[in-house]
Amino acid sequence: MRDLSVSRHVTILSPTAILGYGFPESSFRAGLARHPDVIAVDAGSTDPGPYYLGSGESFTNRDAVKRDLLLMIEAGLDLDIPILIGTAGGAGAEPHLAWCLEIVDEVLCDLGRCARVADIASDQNRDSLISALHSGRITELDPVPPLTQDAIEKSSHIVAQMGVEPIIEALDQGAQIIVTGRCYDPAVFAAVPIRAGFSEALSLHLGKILECAAIAATPGSGSDCMIGVIDESGFTLEALSPERKCTVTSVAAHTLYEKTDPRYLPGPGGVLDLSTCHFEQMDERRVRVTGTQLQKGTDYTIKLEGAQPVGFRTISIAGIRAPDLIQQLDVVLKAVRDRVFANFESIDPSEAQLLFRVYGQNGVMGDLEPLIDQRPHEVGLVIEVVAKTQSLADTVCSFARSTLLHFGYPGRQSTAGNLAFPYSPSDISHGVVYEFSVYHLMIVDDPVSPFPMRIQNLGEVR
């Protein structure tokens, strides 16, 4: 591995916004021609919802992940630079980490290569969490309610977001490939420059941009490459496809991305202060960023994420193109709901939820929809039931669908049916439903010990 302690800059190649989303080989080769010091990629997110953390399944496709890793690992080993993968398998729990490591090993075997691979776990021991809860070391993130022992015990998986420190520890121990459990998104990009002595604030801000790859370019894409170069006073960003370019607007906009306050970005151990940032257009394709600062916290805190099962889901998808029905749809749906539960009086309301999502009216924003007076000529309807068993969810959904299909309402002209179904069978059993049960901050004594690391040699010649 290169010694970067005397380097005047560090170059980081980010191939794609999420491992498995793909990237053009031409862009990737252009990035390799810039002699990067590290190839880093984020592999996960809570954006797809709690199911993947709760179930232990990946939201990315295995073949797609392997394709991306094949290119990254071969290039990284050829250049003798580290390959860093954050939040393995989409959610970063133990089954996700094992899944990703299996693919890494498979790729190495296919290449006929061996490598020193570190995996860093992020799963948290329940007894330790309960102890931390009772000692006042866990606090909620508004508007999440306070954590309870019951939520800890019922969660399928609970992970914590690691910062750069466990990754730097793995680099110090000579890891060529590092695969982490749940990781603070910028950490795999910031670890190498911070280890080399560059500004923590600038490194983390650069990581904040690079973790989404070319989304910060224009036109933006999560499936294309971006490169960042950090030096003593700032960093420069450049998209690697000739079709894209970085602008002050695109980079500044991405700095504001996914934050409740545009000035501050909290993370493990501190808060980035972005209020003094300066963005400069270097040329048609590159933007330079300076001025980022870091406010260190009195305590080192890490974010906990957990998911628990809450029931089973069945859905039915339909379309409605009847102006007379759309005009009074809210009233009709309430009447259908009342009739469904009147026919199942033995069902406790806590055992089954019946939801109607009306796309074209308020399906996206729900009660927050501001355009409540507009009436479309057609709507899409999702009938959703979440119940304590799959059988109960199937039953309630079936009855709600059939009731609405033939429901009589004032002014009804067609008796052939109120719904158009794009699929047969119309009802789809989805299985277990999860919800986020832990989304809190925990104070830790040091940033490394909650994240046990293992280093092993993987790969073999076939």
**Is the domain of 342 the same as that of 452?**
no
**Is the domain of 345 the same as that of 410?**
yes
**Is the domain of 240 the same as that of 188?**
yes
Domain that holds residue 76: 10-124+157-297+446-458
The mean-pLDDT minimum among 4-18, 232-246, 359-373, 394-408 falls in: 359-373
Residue 63 pLDDT exceeds 80: yes
- The first and second tokens of residue 404, run together, are 């609405």
Residue 169: beta bridge partners?
none
**Is the domain of 83 the same as that of 209?**
yes
pLDDT in the model for residue 461: 59
What is the enclosing helix (H) or strand (E) of 342? helix 329-342
DSSP class of residue 299? S
What is the enclosing helix (H) or strand (E) of 195? helix 187-195
Residue 301: beta bridge partners?
443
pLDDT classification of 361: cutoffs 50, 70, 90: confident
Mean pLDDT of the chain: 94
Within-domain flag for 130? no
Within-domain flag for 315? no
* Whole-number percent of the chain with pLDDT over 70: 98
pLDDT classification of 6: cutoffs 50, 70, 90: low
Q: Select, from the ranges 45-49, 225-229, 339-343, the one with the highest average predicted confidence (pLDDT).
A: 225-229
Please write the tens of the pLDDT for every residue from 152-208. 999 999 999 999 999 999 999 999 999 999 999 999 999 999 999 999 999 999 999
Residue 435 pLDDT exceeds 80: yes
pLDDT in the model for residue 328: 93
Residue 5 pLDDT exceeds 70: no
pLDDT in the model for residue 260: 83
Residue 216 pLDDT exceeds 90: yes
Q: Once rounded to an integer, what is the mean pLDDT over residues 353-360?
A: 94
**Is the domain of 382 the same as that of 279?**
no
What is the enclosing helix (H) or strand (E) of 55? helix 51-55
pLDDT in the model for residue 388: 94
Output phi, psi for 460, to 5 deg.
Answer: -160, 165
Q: Once rounded to an integer, what is the mean pLDDT over residues 81-103?
A: 98
Residue 393 pLDDT exceeds 80: yes
Residue 372 pLDDT exceeds 80: no
β-bridge pairing 83-86 and 38-42: parallel
**Is the domain of 291 the same as that of 409?**
no
**Is the domain of 336 the same as that of 409?**
yes
Q: 456: which residues sit within 8 A by CB, 6+ positions away?
A: 116, 117
Within-domain flag for 306? no
- Contact predicate 386/395, CB 8 Å: no
**Is the domain of 264 the same as that of 327?**
no
Q: Where are the beta strands (DSSP E) in 104-160?
A: 115-120, 138-140, 157-160
Within-domain flag for 273? yes
DSSP class of residue 122? -
**Is the domain of 89 the same as that of 187?**
yes
- The first and second tokens of residue 276, run together, are 């003094």
Cα 427 to Cα 251, 317, 356, 419: the distances in Å are: 44, 8, 14, 13
**Count of structural domains, the chain:** 2
Within 13 Å of residue 19, how many CA atoms lie on the same side as its CB?
36
Whole-number Å distance between alpha carbons of 217 and 102: 33
Within-domain flag for 431? no
Residue 349 pLDDT exceeds 80: no
Q: Which of 402, 386, 408, 325 is nearest to 360 (CA)?
A: 325
Within-domain flag for 77? yes
